[in-house]
Structure 1
C-alpha cells in the first residue's frame, strides 16, 4: 500500500466536499467459484482501496462528514483462520496502517447504521456491482437488493469521480509498472504469432506474465484472429498464415492499477498489401489522437477528428466516398469504426465505471451522442491534466454489419459497398496506447509497445 498520508489526505479531500451525513464504503468479500471454501482470486473494491488501502476481504469503511470521524469495521481472525492462513495482523493494527483510529467488529456496524437511520442522517453509498454487497446493503439499510441502486448517492458518486479522475504521482508510478508488464505481454504474443499456434496457448502464457508481474490481468484477455468481433474472448482457433492476430490485454500492478494495450500483427510476420494499407490508417488515427489530446479539449472532439482520419484514409482506398465531414456527421464511418476512441483508466481498467459511466465519461457541458458508433464512446468530457485515458482507434470489416447497411441502404452516399465486400474476410485492426494528459498535452505511459509495421514484422518474424 501507499504511505499512510496518502489515505489520510484522500479521506480529508472527500470530507472537504461538504457532504452531510455519512459515507458507507463496503469492501468486497470472497466470492465462491463452486463451493464456499473454493473462491475466486480476491479483488478488493477499488473505491475502498482508494480511501482505505487494505487489500483483504470483509471490511467496511465509514466516513462521518458531520463530525469528521472515520471508522473501520471488520472481524479479527480466530484460531481456525490462523490454522489455514497463518498469523494475521489485528484489525486495529491494520487500521493504524492507513490512519484509522476507530475500529470495531463488523457486528457493531449494524448498530452504527441503525443509530444513524433513527437520527434521520443521510447515508451515502455507491451502487454495488456484486450480489454479495447488494444483499449486505439490503440487510444494513432495509432497502430491497432489487432497488438498492436507485438510492445510491449521486452526491457521493460525483465527489469520488472528481477526486479519482486526477491521478496522483504515486498512482502514475503504479500505472507505469502495470505498463511494463503489459509491454512484456504484448511482445511475447507477437513472437508467438506463428501459423499453427493455438490462440489459447498464447493467451495462457501472457496471463502468466501478468500474474508474475505482481498482480493479474486487468481484464479477460482478448486474443483472436477474428478481430472483427470487438470483444472476442474465444481463443479456440489455430493461427493461419495470412490472418491478423489482434491482442487486447493488460496487467494490474500489485496495488491494482491497470494497463490496457492493443496490437494487431500479421500471423507469420508479413502484412499483405491490403493489411498494411488499413494498418497505416489506424496508426495515423492513433497518432492523431495523441497529438490532439490535451487539457481543455473534449475527448468527443478528438474521437470525431480521428473518425475523419479513418474516413479519409478509407476514401483513398475506395471504401468510402463523398464529403468526409458530412460522412462523419452522418455516422458513416461507424460501419468500419463502430466503437469509441477510449475510456478512463486507473484502479480499474474502465476506471470508476462501477459508479456510473455517465458520471465518469461525461459532464454537464458534454453529453453522449445518440448515434451508432459514437454512442459507444465511454469518455467524451473535457480533458484535464492528470487524467489517464486509453487511445484505441480501429477499423473492422464485420460481414453482418456490411450486409445490414447495404440491404437498408444506410449511408449509401458515403460507403462503397461493392468494395467493402472485398474485405469480408479481413478481420479487424485496433491499436491502443495508454495516455497521461499533461499540462502541455499528453504522453504515452510506459515504453510504447512496438507499433510501426516494419518493427512488427521484424518481431513476429
Structure 2
C-alpha cells in the first residue's frame, strides 16, 4: 500500500466535498468459484482500496462527513483461521497503517447505519456490483437488493469520481509498472505468432507473465486471428500463415493499477500489402489521437478526429468515397470503426465504471452521441492533467455488418461496397496505447510496445 498519509489525504478530500451524513464504502468478500472454500483470486473493491488501502476481504469503511470520524469494520481471525492462514495482523494494526484509529467488529456496522437512518441522516453508498454486497445493503438499509444499485448516492458517486479521476504521481508510477508487465506480455505474444500455434497457448503464456509480474491480467485476455470480433475471448483456433492476430491484454500491478494495450501482428511475421495499408491507417489514427489529447480538449473531438483519419485513409484505398467530414458526421466510418476511441484507466481497466460510466465519461457539458459507433465512446468530456486514457482506434471488416449496411443502403453515398467486399476475410486491426494527460499535452506511459510495421515484423521474425 501507499504511505498512510496518502489515504488520510484522500479521505480528507472526500470530507471537503460538502456532503452531509455518512459515507459507506463496502469492501469485497471472497467469491466462490465452484464451492464455498474454493474461491476466485481475490480482488478488493477499487474505491475501498483507494480510500482505505486494505487489500483483504471482510471489511467496510465509514466516513462521517459532519464530525469527521472514520471507522473500519471487520473481524479479527480466530484459531481456526490461524491454522490455515498462519498468524495475522490485527484489524486495529492494519487500520493504523492507513491512518484510522477506530475499528469495530463487522456486526457493529449494522448498528452505526441504523443509528444514522433513525436520526434522519443520509447514508451515502456507491453502486454495488456484486450480489453479496447488494444483499448486504438490503440488510443494512432495508432497500430491496433488486433496486439498491439504483438507490446509490449520486452526490457521493460524483464526489468520488472527481477525486479518483486525477491520478497522483505515485499512481502514475504504479501504472508504469503495470505497463512494463504489459510490454512483456505483448512482445511475448508477437514472438509466438507463428503458424501452427494454438491461440490458447499464447493467451495462457501471457497471462502467466502478468501473474509473475505481481498481479492478475487486468481483464480477460482478448486474443484471436478473428479480430473483427471486437472482444473475442475464444482462443480455440490454430494460427494460420497470412492471418492477423489481434491481442488486447494488460496487467495489474501489485497495488492493482491497470495497463491495457492492443497490438495486431501478422502471423509468421510479414504483412501483406493489403494488411500493411490498413495497419498504417490505424497507426496514423492512433498517433493523431495522442497528438491531439491535451488539457481542455474534449475526448469526443479527439475520437472524431481519429475517425476522420481512418475515413480519409479508406477513401485513398477506394473503400470509402465522398467528403470525409460529411462521412464521419453521418457515421459512415463506423462500419469500419464501430467503437469508441478509448476510456479512462487507473485502479480499474475501465476506471470507475462500476460507479456509472455516464458519470465517469460525460458531464453536463458533453453528453453521449446517439449514433452507431460513436455511441460506444466511453469518454467524451474535456481532458484534464492527470487523466490516464487509452487510445485504441481500429479498423474491422465484419461480414454481417457489411451485409446489413449493403442490403439496407446505409451510408451508400460514402461506402464503396464492391471494394469493401474484397476485404470480407480480412479480420480486424486495433492499436492501443496508454497515455497520461500532462499540463501541456499527453505522453505514452512507459516504453512503447513495438508498433511500427517493420518493428512488429522484426519482433515476430526474431523468434
Q: What is the TM-score of this pair, normalised by structure 1?
A: 1.00
- 1:131 counterpart residue number: 131
Shift of 1:379: 0.4
- 2:424 counterpart residue number: 424
CA deviations 1:58-87 (Å, max 9, x no partner) are: 000000001000000000000000001000
Separation of aligned partners in 1, 2:111 and 2:158: 28
Aligned pairs (5 A) from 1:352-367 = 352-367=352-367
- 1:5 counterpart residue number: 5
- 2:287 counterpart residue number: 287
- Unaligned runs of at least 5 residues, structure 1: none
Shift of 1:150: 2.0
Separation of aligned partners in 2, 1:151 and 1:186: 41
- 1:183 counterpart residue number: 183
Shift of 1:104: 0.3
Separation of aligned partners in 1, 2:367 and 2:78: 51
Is 1:379–2:379 an aligned residue pair?
Answer: yes
Shift of 1:57: 0.2
Aligned pairs (5 A) from 1:134-213 = 134-213=134-213
- 1:20 counterpart residue number: 20
Separation of aligned partners in 2, 1:95 and 1:242: 56
Shift of 1:151: 1.1
Shift of 1:202: 0.3
- 1:106 counterpart residue number: 106
SS in 1 for 2:103: strand
CA deviations 1:32-64 (Å, max 9, x no partner) are: 001100000000000000000000000000000
Separation of aligned partners in 2, 1:150 and 1:437: 32
* RMSD (Å) for aligned C-alpha atoms: 0.4
CA deviations 1:194-228 (Å, max 9, x no partner) are: 00000000000000000000111000000000000
Aligned pairs (5 A) from 1:334-373 = 334-373=334-373
Is 1:299–2:326 an aligned residue pair?
Answer: no
CA deviations 1:402-447 (Å, max 9, x no partner) are: 0000000000000000111000000000000000000010000010
- 1:391 counterpart residue number: 391
CA deviations 1:345-400 (Å, max 9, x no partner) are: 00000000000000000011100000000000000000000000000000000000
- 2:121 counterpart residue number: 121
Shift of 1:18: 1.0
Separation of aligned partners in 1, 2:249 and 2:199: 13
Separation of aligned partners in 1, 2:210 and 2:262: 15
Shift of 1:149: 1.4
SS in 1 for 2:194: coil
- 1:269 counterpart residue number: 269
Separation of aligned partners in 2, 1:78 and 1:142: 31
Shift of 1:310: 0.2
- 1:47 counterpart residue number: 47
SS in 2 for 1:289: helix
Separation of aligned partners in 2, 1:160 and 1:108: 25
- Unaligned runs of at least 5 residues, structure 2: none
Separation of aligned partners in 2, 1:78 and 1:446: 44
- 1:238 counterpart residue number: 238
SS in 1 for 2:215: coil
Shift of 1:2: 0.1
Q: What is the TM-score of this pair, normalised by structure 2?
A: 0.99
SS in 1 for 2:147: helix
Separation of aligned partners in 1, 2:136 and 2:446: 39
SS in 2 for 1:61: strand
Q: Please identify runs of 4+ aligned residues in structure 1 that moved more than 3 A.
A: none
SS in 2 for 1:146: coil
- Paired residues, number: 461
SS in 2 for 1:2: coil
CA deviations 1:315-339 (Å, max 9, x no partner) are: 0000000000000000000000000
Separation of aligned partners in 2, 1:69 and 1:39: 34
Is 1:322–2:322 an aligned residue pair?
Answer: yes
